[in-house]
């Protein structure tokens, strides 16, 4: 596992996510580029969360859960869900993307992309816990992109 790559044309790995993608700004997902998808991939799943929220919120904050992304997708466009993909509920209690909104200091946000050997049989609005459980034994490869955001 290591051929899969996740990048963004608007921020480098471990660099600042532009303000417009924040929850209190435009609250649209940043564009993402996907490379190196294994040949036998049936679907992709993406989870964006904030491990740094553990102290202020008491848990890892879930910002975006999206699955059954077709494996031929090379770009997730800004503010657009790929056709055929399903979105879960974020920790704002809303379906879809909920941008960065750290309450205390700069946080690091994790975008985890999974190449899977099946489509996930989950209803729209599923939680990160549901998705993580469903993909558990079906991961062909994984890529991580980190970005930072400050209040």
Q: Are 7 and 76 in contact (CB under 8 A)?
A: no
Q: Model confidence over 82-96: pLDDT tens digits?
A: 999 999 999 999 999
Q: Model confidence over 45-75: pLDDT tens digits?
A: 999 999 999 999 999 999 999 999 999 999 9
Closest CA to 13 of 99, 100, 111: 111
Query: Which domains can be identified in the chain, with CATH numbers?
Result: 5-149 (3.90.280.10)
Phi, psi of 83 (to 5 degrees): -60, 135
Confidence of residue 33 (pLDDT cuts 50, 70, 90): very high
> If DSSP codes are grouped into helix, strand and coil, which group holds residue 125?
coil
0.75 exceeded by pTM:
yes
Using CA atoms, how far apart are residues 120 and 125, in angstroms rounded to an integer? 13
């Amino acid at each position: 596992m290591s051929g899969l790559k996740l990048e963004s044309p608007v921020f480098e790995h471990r660099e600042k996510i532009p303000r417009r993608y924040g929850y209190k700004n435009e609250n649209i997902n940043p564009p993402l580029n996907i490379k190196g998808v294994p040949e036998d991939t049936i679907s992709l799943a993406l989870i964006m969360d904030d491990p740094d929220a553990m102290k202020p919120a008491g848990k890892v904050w879930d910002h975006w859960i999206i699955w059954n992304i077709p494996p031929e997708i090379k770009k997730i466009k800004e503010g657009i869900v790929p056709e055929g993909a399903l979105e879960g509920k974020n920790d704002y209690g809303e379906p879809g993307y909920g941008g960065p909104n750290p309450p205390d200091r700069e946080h690091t946000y994790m975008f985890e992309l999974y190449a899977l050997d099946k489509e996930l049989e989950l209803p729209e609005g599923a939680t990160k816990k549901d998705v993580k459980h469903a993909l558990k034994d079906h991961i062909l490869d994984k890529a991580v992109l980190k970005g930072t955001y400050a209040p």
